[in-house]
């Protein structure tokens, strides 16, 4: 498996990768609906690729196993999505993608890497916490993260939290 920047020709398969990844939620009663939920479209992926903030993990046969995409904010890189095909989960692909995003954020001189995620889903907040991310308490949320959480709530995503990894710039 190797991690590389996402190329134009990868974009077409990314919605299917995200749909496959979301099957992880199928057995989680309150979030099972996410297994059928809307995923990022090709236009959104195109924007990440153009910005140079999208990466894929591919197997030795060149099959895309997962992707991570991020958005540049003022002093931060914000991780928008990381998804690994259901059958490839639990084998270190997500961790490798996350490491790539952290490296990119450091290289760009970002002060922090931020994200929002489910607080109580084992492969969400606890996974990021083991990686070194800290949960941002409600009262310490800046406007940007507060707004992201509000939009997510409006889309029915409850139990979400914001997390940050300080990068020491
Ligand atoms: C979250 C996700 C990207 C992680 O990718 P992955 O390749 O499965 O993760 P890894 O194999 O690198 O493992 C990362 C950690 O998550 C844990 N993990 C992965 N799947 C798990 C599961 N089903 N249950 C519990 N823990 C799990 C691993 O044990 C590992 O723990 P570690 O930190 O001690 O090493 C992947 O599970 C996924 O696509 N999930 C569905 C979409 C999603 O939730 N995206 C995140 C949005 S914020």
For 18, the domain range is: 2-166
Relative to the CA of 115, which ligand 1 atom is closest?
48
Residue 161, Cβ density class (10 Å: 0-12 exposed, 13-18 middle, ≥19 buried)? buried
Helix (H, G, I), strand (E, B) or coil at 73: coil
Give Cβ neighbours of residue 88 (< 8 Å, ≥ 6 apart).
Answer: 57, 59, 65, 66
CB 144 within 8 A of CB 86: no
Q: Which residue has the tokens 């904010």?
A: 73
Which residues of the chain fall below pLDDT 70? 169
Residues 48-59: pLDDT tens digits?
999 999 999 999
Ligand 1 centroid to residue 86 C-alpha, Å: 10
> How far apart are the C-alpha atoms of 29 and 26, rounded to whole Å?
7
CA dihedral 73, 76, 81, 84 (to 10 degrees): 150
Residues 94/66, Cβ–Cβ less than 8 Å: yes
In this prediction, residue 151 carries a pLDDT of: 96
**pLDDT score recorded for residue 145:** 97
Pocket test of ligand 1: the residue of 35, 88, 89 to mutate, having most ligand atoms within 8 Å of its CB, is: 89
Per-residue pLDDT, 29: 87
pLDDT confidence of residue 169: 65
The structural domain count of the chain equals: 1
Query: Token pair of 105, please?
Result: 């954020």
C-alpha radius of gyration, the chain, whole number: 15
Q: How far apart are CA 67 and CA 42, in angstroms?
A: 13
Look at residues 103, 137, 101 and name the one whose alpha carbon lies nearest to residue 119: 137
In this prediction, residue 67 carries a pLDDT of: 98
CATH classification at residue 112? 3.40.630.30
Ligand 1, residue 23: give the atom nearest the CA: 41
Residue 45 is predicted with a pLDDT of 98
d(CA 130, CA 92): 13
**Residues within 6 Å of ligand 1 by CB:** 21-22, 24, 82-84, 89-95, 117, 122-124, 127, 130
């Amino acid at each position: 498996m190797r991690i590389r920047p996402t190329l134009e020709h990868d974009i077409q398969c990314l919605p299917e990768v995200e749909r496959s990844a979301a099957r992880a939620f199928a057995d989680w009663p309150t979030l099972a609906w996410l297994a059928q939920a809307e995923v990022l479209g090709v236009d959104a992926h195109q924007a990440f690729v153009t910005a140079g903030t999208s990466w894929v993990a591919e197997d030795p046969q060149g099959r895309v196993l997962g992707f991570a995409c991020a958005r540049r904010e003022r002093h931060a890189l914000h991780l928008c999505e990381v998804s690994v095909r259901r059958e490839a989960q639990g084998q270190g692909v997500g961790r490798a993608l996350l490491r790539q995003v952290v490296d990119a954020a450091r290289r760009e001189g970002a002060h922090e890497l931020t994200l929002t995620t489910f607080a109580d889903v084992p492969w969400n907040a606890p996974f990021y916490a083991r990686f070194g991310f800290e949960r941002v308490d409600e009262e310490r949320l800046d406007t940007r993260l507060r707004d992201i959480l509000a939009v997510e709530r409006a889309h029915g995503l409850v139990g979400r939290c914001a997390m940050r990894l300080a990068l020491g710039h």
